[in-house]
């Protein structure tokens, strides 16, 4: 049976715990601004704190404020995002920075609704920005907070279902105190990230263990309930790694939407048929030498992509792509900053290593 809400006790217990054990040295907690909180929250949307920290520091080293970010090329923003995944986050960040500069004179909007009208900012991120940066009373409901509330209240059902999510938002609102909102918000995120862990929750040190449903009924491992499983489909593709006589590699700028949108990648061939004739027909190149590399599986949130990389030395005399902006001959040893999909970056690193060891 779900535990009845104990709102005042709950937030007090969480805040007392935070005063003793909370994290206060995360990079985005220093020089606290809307901009830094926003970037960190977007990075943390699908990624753990330890992974985010070096990306955040590099990103802030280059894009020190919203103006710098708005003025930068998207390619460079994607370069600093390479490896973090979910690249729509970086494209939205860049787009939103431009909107804030052009339509809000460089100042962040001060209401949840205004923030939510910007690309890539949902209700939880909007709440976190206003709660953490200016102590406004708004609930947050990221993955960590959902886990704590689901277990504490014994909420059945997958939290991605709208009815379950609605219930969690209500509980999150009830628990959010009138004062110390910034500390409470950080405390809830910390509690989920360091105590109420997904696999091995540390209930013995948890400040709310006494009234926690999952702890009292040994349901930690059944809550929150997981998404009903669909078997992940598998898609296949061939990466055509075309190298010219100078050792430069042909890259293609992907369309802005879709997987790896806006990133640079190898041209893709979708059929196992004769790669030689495909390269000739599409690019006008003839192949000198062809090498099939080890296949790679890259997993997205909703499908696996099985990649067959084919490395070919090509003669480029009759090029059909001269003057086409969406292609470039990339120097793997050079310093050009391009946003790339992770498997593309790894394959280019391998090729560069081979060049060095030759």
Binding of ligand SF4 by 3 (CB under 6 A): no
Which segment (118-126, 178-186, 206-214, 260-268) binds ligand SF4 by CB under 6 A?
206-214
| Catalytic one of 41, 170, 268, 272 | 41
Distances (CA, A) of 343 to 32, 39, 88, 237, 340: 35, 25, 17, 12, 8
Q: Does 215 interact with ligand SF4 (rule: CB under 6 A)?
A: yes
Tokens representing residue 206 in the block: 């948890």
- Contact between 154 and 214 (Cβ < 8 Å): yes
Closest-CA residue to 149 (of 181, 197, 122, 188): 188
User: What's the rounded Cα separation, in Å, for the pair 146 and 153?
Assistant: 11
Find the DSSP H helices in the chain.
Answer: 7-21, 34-44, 49-62, 66-71, 74-81, 88-103, 112-116, 123-134, 143-153, 162-175, 181-194, 213-216, 275-283, 342-357
Total of residues contacting ligand SF4 (CB under 6 A): 15
Q: Does 193 bind ligand SF4 (CB under 6 A)?
A: no
- Residues 90, 128, 140, 212: which binds ligand SF4 (CB under 6 A)? 212
Of positions 79, 80, 152, 169, contacts ligand SF4 by CB under 6 A: 152
Of the pair 81, 213, the CB lying nearest ligand SF4 is at 213
- Catalytic, 41? Answer yes
Let me know how long the chain is. Answer: 358
Which CB, 39 or 208, lies closer to ligand SF4? 208
| Distance (Å, whole) CA 183 – CA 24 | 10
Site for ligand SF4 in 112-151 (CB under 6 A): 148, 151
Per rule CB under 6 A, is residue 203 in the interface with ligand SF4?
Answer: yes
Residue 10 is a binding residue for ligand SF4 (CB under 6 A): no
- Residues near ligand SF4 (CB under 6 A) are 148, 151-152, 195-196, 201-203, 206, 208-209, 212, 214-215, 220
Which residues carry out catalysis? Answer: 41
């Amino acid at each position: 049976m779900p535990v009845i809400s104990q709102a005042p006790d709950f937030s007090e217990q969480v805040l007392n715990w935070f005063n003793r054990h909370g994290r206060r040295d995360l990079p985005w907690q220093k020089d606290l601004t809307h901009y830094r909180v926003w970037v960190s929250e977007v990075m943390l949307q699908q990624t753990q704190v330890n992974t985010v920290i070096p990306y955040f520091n590099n990103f802030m080293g280059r894009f020190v404020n919203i103006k710098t970010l708005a003025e930068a090329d998207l390619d460079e923003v994607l370069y600093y995002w390479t490896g973090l995944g979910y690249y729509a986050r970086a494209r939205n960040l860049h787009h939103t920075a431009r909107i804030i500069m052009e339509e809000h004179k460089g100042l962040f909007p001060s209401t949840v609704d205004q923030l939510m009208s910007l690309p890539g900012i949902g209700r939880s991120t909007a709440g976190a920005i206003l709660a953490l940066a200016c102590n406004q009373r708004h609930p947050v409901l990221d993955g960590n907070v959902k886990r704590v509330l689901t277990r504490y209240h014994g909420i059945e059902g997958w939290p991605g279902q709208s009815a379950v999510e609605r219930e969690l938002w209500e509980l999150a609102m009830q628990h959010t105190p009138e004062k110390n909102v910034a500390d409470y918000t950080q405390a809830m995120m910390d509690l989920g990230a360091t105590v109420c862990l997904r696999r091995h929750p540390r209930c013995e040190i948890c400040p709310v263990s006494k009234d926690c449903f999952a702890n009292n009924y040994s349901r930690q491992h059944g809550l929150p309930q997981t998404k009903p499983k669909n078997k992940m489909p598998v898609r296949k593709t061939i990466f055509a790694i075309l190298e010219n006589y100078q050792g430069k590699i042909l890259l293609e700028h992907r369309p802005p939407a879709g997987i790896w949108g806006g990133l640079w990648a190898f041209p893709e061939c979708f059929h196992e048929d004769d790669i030689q004739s495909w390269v000739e027909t599409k690019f006008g190149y003839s192949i000198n030498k062809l090498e099939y590399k080890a296949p790679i599986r890259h997993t997205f949130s909703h499908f696996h992509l099985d990649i067959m990389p084919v490395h070919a030395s090509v003669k480029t005399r009759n090029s059909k792509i001269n003057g086409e902006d969406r292609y470039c001959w990339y120097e793997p040893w050079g310093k050009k900053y391009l946003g790339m999909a992770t498997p593309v970056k790894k394959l280019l690193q391998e090729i560069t290593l081979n060049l060095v060891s030759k």
